[in-house]
Amino acid sequence: MKVALSLFTALLLSAALAQGELRLYNWTGYTSQELLQKFEAETGIRVSLDTYDSNETLLAKLKSGATGYDIVVPSHNFVQIFVSEGLLEPIHASEMANYSNIDERWRNPDWDPGNVYTVPWQWGTTSFAVDTALYDGDIDTYEVLFNPPEVFRGRIGMFDSWDEVLPMALRYTGSEICTTDPEAFRRALEVLEAQEPYVKVYTSEGILENMIAGETAMNTYWNGATMRVRAERPTVRYAYPVEGVSGWMDNLALARGAPNKEAALTFINWFLEPENAALQSNFARYANAVSGAEAFMDEPLRTAPEIVPPEGANIIFSPTCPEEYIRLADRVWTRLKQ
């Protein structure tokens, strides 16, 4: 009875600590409101959502000393950067009740051994999408993006993020990701500057709306978001360049100084329930890392070309690059945007 009372007391205390507001800072257009409403209904914890457009924006925000966020969602290749900067607090995910729900291939990842700081949120690829009503040639090469046909002049949209764009330009020019060779970056800059007259906008926001409206006919984009575009504009197709496609895993993490740590840990563990992970995937159109979620996912996700890559697709999960790579990449991006 004493043990039972102690456990009951601990549960009450945990619930009390987890009350209040959970502040989630996530990528724009990436969070299911239905998911948040379900969490609020089941736990009584309110959720407020702020958004950002790139890993660089998230990093700069937290490095500036911004406080008040509980959960942030860095991509896999930025996790070690955040850890080394002291911007994340440990969550020791392996000790969570629902940790065993994570598919074994996504446990103990290279970017976070032991899942000390993160659990997987959604995963996918980064490439570009093309409206084939305008162009019906081969799109499975970066040649069409960086040496575009005249029909795309003023109709290309590019991410406003060196982290997303530079790997494409480096692969196109035959260089390795994470290179620190200045000559490789010089070639990449030349390619980006030559492409610039064809670019309508550099932005990582509003891409969905731009493509649906026909404002851009080719746009760097993510696979799941492209599926959402295709639902409204069926002639849009997602490219799998032979030179290589960037794979990524976005991760739930606890921000340094999180004001409601208990609520954050409650949300992270709760998300690892298959039904909850599936609810997010059904909205965002990305795969998740939770075993058993497939049973709750929409049928189109199991066959969509954006989600199920063609056989032989060259998908590469980039490692965390050294500081020199980041310095050179930032310099190239600054030069391009001048």
| Full 3-state SS string of 100-155 | HHECHHHCCCCCCHHHCCEEEEEEEEEEEEEECCCCCCCCCCCHHHHCCCHHHCCC
Instruction: Report residue 293 as tokens.
Output: 């979620």
Quick one: pLDDT band at residue 7, thresholds 50, 70, 90?
very low
Structural domain boundaries in the chain? 17-123+248-302, 124-245+310-337
Domain 124-245+310-337 in the same topology as domain 17-123+248-302: yes
Which of 76, 243, 75 has its CA nearest to residue 146?
243
Query: CA torsion, points 287, 293, 294, 299, in degrees to nearest 10?
Result: -80
pLDDT at 6: 42
What's the rounded Cα separation, in Å, for the pair 324 and 115? 27
Q: What is the pTM of this model?
A: 0.89
Instruction: Dump pLDDT digits (tens) for 129-180.
Output: 999 999 999 999 999 999 999 999 999 999 999 999 999 999 999 999 999 9
pLDDT at 248 over 90: yes
What CATH number labels 17-123+248-302? Answer: 3.40.190.10
Quick one: pLDDT band at residue 302, thresholds 50, 70, 90?
confident
**Which architecture does CATH list for 124-245+310-337?**
3-Layer(aba) Sandwich (3.40)
CA angle 99, 102, 107 (to 5 degrees): 90
